[in-house]
């Protein structure tokens, strides 16, 4: 058997069938049939792919092929089907894709084009097989890609990622700040057919309104003051890959309108340009806002919302998956110990109890920063309550007091810097290398904390 698997061809034109067999025999083990009834019988060979003509006997009308596709999908819903069609039957090929066909090939035969389509289909089939084999293992799992969690909510999230990843559907990721929305987007990309393409991340909140269009869609030379050369935008940089647009609710109405047009038309125009540029990207958007409330306030476009939310994945906040906290603590302890050449810290039962009682307003990001600080600052092998910031004791005590996340992070940063500078004998350049900071970052942080 070929390494690419088994192909079932259903085609009534014997001459074309001979051409197809000759063109593809080095790529697949091939079984063929000349009509729909015998084509359906090829299911007994459990083919990896079907290549189906639409105009089959007895009527040779496109409905014969469409009925066969429906029958194949009823018997085995995840079967990968590629359709063959003439120029006049293109609308039927698109209808076949609505019935579940993966792609279509337009006659006459072009071997290179057909091989490209079938190889993509075979890759999709392989990915589906991988996902099926993982599906049975997912119950009880405590990680997926770089996501960590064994709670029911996280296992459900893992299952949802597996279902949506092989498709090209737009995905909207909803979750509080610090829950790991970009990690989810990365996991979808790495489990998708686009994983060999680029993953381009853009933070909408970091885009200045006047430059947002340029960042997303690019610009031509002279489009505005300072545009000394043409530049590709994030859409072009993500070609054949995934564009992750975080904090999408922060985009201005004008940018929202252009984003909607780009998604609907699958083409963009650079700022200052007049030539449309076709783009092939999958968009994954994320927000920590309630978009439906923003729509009601007139701050977010309703048509863009419905274009984005083909699939919505909701990430639970850390306080709603307390059973994952020990797993995450151990994961981050191992990560930062390895990064800094130290043995991983252990956590006393009292510390884990305090962790369970905290509100974690900053979610997983807050826990990660805490573990990083403890790894660098604590000399002992075991973390005890005495090593934790006072604010954590107050939060776990149930009185609702909790140091704001930004202030907590600032405190951690300053302690990390002081410790690194002290360990480097006061040489800030050496401390910067220890912390994996470049010179500009180190200067900025030292000015920020008056060090």
Rounded to whole angstroms, the Cα distance separating 200 from 186 reads 10
Mean pLDDT over the full length of the chain: 85
Higher-scoring residue by pLDDT: 264, 135: 264
Residue 383 confidence class, pLDDT cut points 50, 70, 90: very high
Express as a percent the part of the chain with pLDDT over 90.
Answer: 40
- Mean per-residue pLDDT for 137-149? 61
As a whole number, mean pLDDT of residues 329-351 equals 89
Do the beta carbons of residue 240 and residue 197 sit within 8 Å? yes
pLDDT score of 367 more than 90: yes
Distance of alpha carbon 158 from alpha carbon 143, whole angstroms: 8
The predicted pLDDT at position 433 comes to 84
Residue 124, pLDDT score:
79
**pTM assigned to the model:** 0.60
Domains of the chain: 6-133 (3.40.50.2300), 147-314 (3.40.50.300), 319-448 (1.10.8.60)
pLDDT at 365 over 90: yes
- What average pLDDT does range 410-427 have in this prediction? 81
The pLDDT of residue 247:
93
**Does the pLDDT of residue 3 top 90, yes or no?**
no
pLDDT value at residue 439: 78
User: What mean pLDDT is predicted for residues 228-232?
Assistant: 90
315: DSSP letter: P
Question: Which residues on adjacent β-strands are paired with residue 32?
Answer: 9
Give per-residue pLDDT as tens, 25-48.
888 899 999 999 999 999 999 898
Identify the residue with better confidence: 1 or 59: 59
- Range in 92-96, 386-390, 392-396 the model is least confident about: 392-396
pLDDT of residue 2: 44
What are the tens digits of pLDDT across the range 269-316?
998 888 999 999 999 999 999 999 999 999 999 999 999 888 999 999
Please give the pLDDT value at position 398: 47
Q: What is the pLDDT of residue 384?
A: 92
The pLDDT score that the predictor gives to residue 303 is 93
Q: 139 pLDDT exceeds 50?
A: no
Please report, in angstroms and rounded to a whole number, the separation of the first and last CA atoms in the chain.
Answer: 68
User: What is the predicted pLDDT for the residue at 33?
Assistant: 93
CA dist., res. 69 & res. 79, Å (int): 10
What pLDDT does 107 receive?
Answer: 83
**How far lies 419's CA from each of 49, 114, 403, 426, 430, in Å?**
60, 61, 22, 10, 12
At 136, is the pLDDT very low, low, confident or very high (cuts 50, 70, 90)? very low
Q: Tokens for 296?
A: 């009601």
> What are the residues facing 269 on neighbouring strands?
none
Q: How many helices (H) and strands (E) does the chain have?
A: 19, 16
pLDDT of 1 strictly over 50: no
Task: State yes or no: pLDDT of 371 exceeds 80.
Answer: yes
Structure tokens at 75: 């018997």
- Contact, 83 vs 93, CB < 8 A? yes
Looking at residue 290, its pLDDT comes to: 92
Question: What pLDDT is attached to residue 400?
Answer: 40
**Is the pLDDT reported for residue 399 higher than 60?**
no
Arithmetic mean of pLDDT, 384-405: 66
Indicate the range of 154-163, 316-325, 348-357, 384-393 predicted with least confidence: 384-393
Give the residue among 80, 61, 60, 57 at the shortest CA–CA distance from 69.
Answer: 80
pLDDT at 408: 63
Query: How far is C-alpha 359 from the chain's CA centre?
Result: 28
- Confirm if 80 and 124 have CB atoms less than 8 A apart: yes
**Token digits of residue 109:** 């035969």
């Amino acid at each position: 058997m070929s390494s690419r698997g088994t192909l079932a061809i259903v085609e009534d034109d014997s001459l074309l069938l001979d051409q197809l067999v000759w063109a593809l025999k080095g790529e697949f083990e091939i079984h063929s049939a000349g009509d729909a009834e015998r084509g359906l019988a090829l299911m007994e060979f459990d083919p990896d792919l079907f290549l189906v003509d639409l105009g089959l006997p007895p009527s040779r009308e496109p409905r014969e092929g469409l009925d066969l596709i429906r029958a194949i999908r009823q018997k085995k819903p995840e079967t990968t089907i590629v359709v063959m069609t003439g120029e006049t039957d293109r609308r039927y090929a698109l209808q076949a894709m609505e019935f579940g066909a993966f792609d279509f090939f337009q006659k006459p035969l072009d071997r290179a084009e057909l091989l490209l389509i079938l190889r993509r289909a075979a890759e999709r089939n392989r990915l589906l097989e991988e996902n099926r084999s993982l599906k049975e293992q997912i119950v009880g799992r405590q990680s997926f890609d770089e996501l960590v969690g064994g709670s029911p909510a996280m296992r459900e999230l893992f299952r949802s990622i597996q279902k949506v990843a092989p498709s090209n559907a737009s995905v909207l990721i909803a979750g509080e700040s610090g829950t790991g929305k970009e990690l989810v987007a990365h996991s979808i990309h790495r489990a998708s057919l686009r994983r060999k393409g680029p993953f381009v991340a853009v933070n909408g909140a970091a885009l200045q309104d006047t430059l947002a269009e340029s960042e997303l869609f690019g610009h031509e030379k002279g489009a505005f003051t300072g545009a000394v050369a043409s530049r590709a935008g994030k859409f072009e940089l993500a070609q054949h890959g995934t564009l992750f647009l975080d904090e999408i609710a922060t985009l201005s109405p004008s940018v929202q309108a252009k984003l909607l047009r780009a998604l609907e038309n699958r083409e963009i125009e650079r700022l200052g340009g007049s030539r449309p540029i076709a783009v092939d990207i999958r968009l994954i958007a994320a927000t920590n806002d309630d978009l439906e409330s923003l729509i009601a306030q007139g701050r977010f476009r309703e048509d863009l919302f419905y274009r984005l939310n083909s699939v919505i994945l909701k990430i639970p906040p850390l306080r709603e998956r307390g059973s994952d906290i020990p797993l995450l603590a151990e994961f981050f302890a191992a990560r930062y110990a390895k990064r800094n050449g130290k043995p991983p810290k252990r956590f006393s039962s009292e510390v884990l109890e305090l962790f369970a009682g905290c509100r974690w307003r900053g979610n997983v990001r807050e826990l990660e920063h805490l573990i990083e600080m403890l790894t660098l600052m604590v000399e002992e092998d075991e973390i005890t309550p005495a090593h934790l910031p006072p604010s954590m004791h107050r939060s776990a005590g149930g009185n609702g007091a909790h140091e704001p996340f930004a202030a907590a992070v600032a405190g951690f940063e300053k302690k990390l810097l002081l410790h690194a500078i002290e360990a480097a004998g006061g040489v800030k350049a050496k401390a910067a290398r220890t912390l994996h900071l470049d010179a500009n970052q180190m200067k900025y942080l030292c000015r920020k904390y008056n060090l």
